[in-house]
Structure 1
């Protein structure tokens, strides 16, 4: 599916030829109500950060062929269909800088069924477009969670659109929510599983982490037994393995504001470790605010890791624990007291980097939780300038998986993920 905006979220990038950056590209959908012959196209002006490029300069790529404006006007066998985007290439030595750019386009189409004096029609569109640099080689690996696209996926975007978006920004890992993204869960059609693997191959993505739930209080009259909890976890371990995932995050029901997991968690894990080893899937419970690293919950997980010596039970860190400012604009409703005081469970923990370093040998996966990156690539809550160097200095080379959890306006998640990747890669590349 195409974005509603004429300027598409995907496809905004610098053009590299023979090792040199020679310009930049953006992708447009046809702004008209019908497809047109390419000979009726009359140019496109591109304005980036106030700098205007005349309508005769950009190159057009339609149906796999690239044209100058004069060549386009002379074509007899090319069309711009409503469902086919056009790639616009703007020559510019050195291209554009990493970050957020104000982009405007004026697309000119001739309509022969209008009187000649008004047949040249102007379609105008604008957007804030994010130029994401290539991921630095070595070190950290960059992925995205489908949770980032909540409210957009299945309404404005298909699951394939999400994968295409992730691949387009140069990420290589995809994290999903089992019950949120697998049709027919917990028993998807084998044909869908084949389609899933085909999409991973098509977009060059690695299945990273599979989010699952162990709903300890699913019955109104009692909690799950250890055996029942283990059965739920094992069901997801098997399904994750079939889908190519190498880790599973089980979210156990909690019993306190500090997210103490229901006591059944330990039995469920111990009953499942052999299966996890057989499938080579890591079980990694989440350290999530308001639980800090120095807390009995985290210590309980570490104790089990050290006691069993298992390589298939490790930690998942949610970077919301490092917030230095409260996030008050979430997708869920939040009640703030009449005096404006932030509820205790929403107060920033500002967990120090020293605590992260202490448990880093046990950390398998990091959900790069965030809520807003501004136009200057500054995260308003998470201190990435401390987190990224800490990970690199201590040789951690796992997945950083973007998990946007801010306002759910249409396409905002996709835009924010691009901003976060531009920020993270800039910090990593500066090392």
Structure 2
């Protein structure tokens, strides 16, 4: 049996993650909050820490209901090129950041744009770009996109595919990714409005949605670990929400909470996003309170120790019988180890007739308690107790 000495570590239970692409941040603007300098997503993945939308220059906002708008400052009279729009901050910014213990991957932007209802007023071209340091931006796609709609409720735009951009995959929790929507090409009118939206009253569909996934950075996401006594055994059960290159688990047991023995092993499921359930039965537990822990090993040999849990069990002998003998009583008992035990005989009135201390050997013991006077036909209770055994049997002389 291999012995391991460990310092107990706190087990952080995490929420379930998924690799499947889904909307991780969405804005519907049904609450009509378009004056705000920054708006958090209406709906967001629980493992996102940052999920905000803002304007490049919030002083240029336009109060149009059920959307998020700017009034472009780069106009045909003063210069309305892409560079002008960037200089005038005619853009929107989406900031996303994974929570600690997760990494973020982005796959798609779905959105709706609404410009002025008068042709030629609003910016007529846009381009998305991204940054992972807040300073250097890289354009997404192969070309700028034309926009000329005058629909009052806006127009759905072609989805922006992010899945092939390596820099937007597996971003750690220390990285904030910024998605920038820059618009330019406005006319000379003061009503050079462009915005994300719009919805109509009572409609809660997203007008801006970012899809992706959040994956736990832990090799194994352990969601539960329990230990329950069952007769002369302890039943261990644990469950994982996801596993990455999981080789196996070692099952550890300790009588004092600091010195642990390896008592078993369970093979892992490699890499999976499907919930997995494990079980193990300790058929030779320690009497009283003991501690169980899991140690998980990656395929490369790196291990992680999870917090130990206590369980209390009172072991009973599987064999215990008593019978009268010529000199007193005969006791047959099975012991899991060598130890001292106390035997007492009590009558039905509760009077203690005799009490003796015996030495049990590991295995089956045949013991004689002599010099005991019992009344014929009377009922007695014979009890045997040790650190690991507690048994009582009836005896009639």
Normalising by structure 1, we get a TM-score of: 0.23
Of Structure 1 and Structure 2, the greater helix share is in 1
Bigger share in strand: 2
Looking at CA atoms only, which structure, 1 or 2, has the larger radius of gyration? Answer: 2
- TM (norm. structure 2) is 0.24
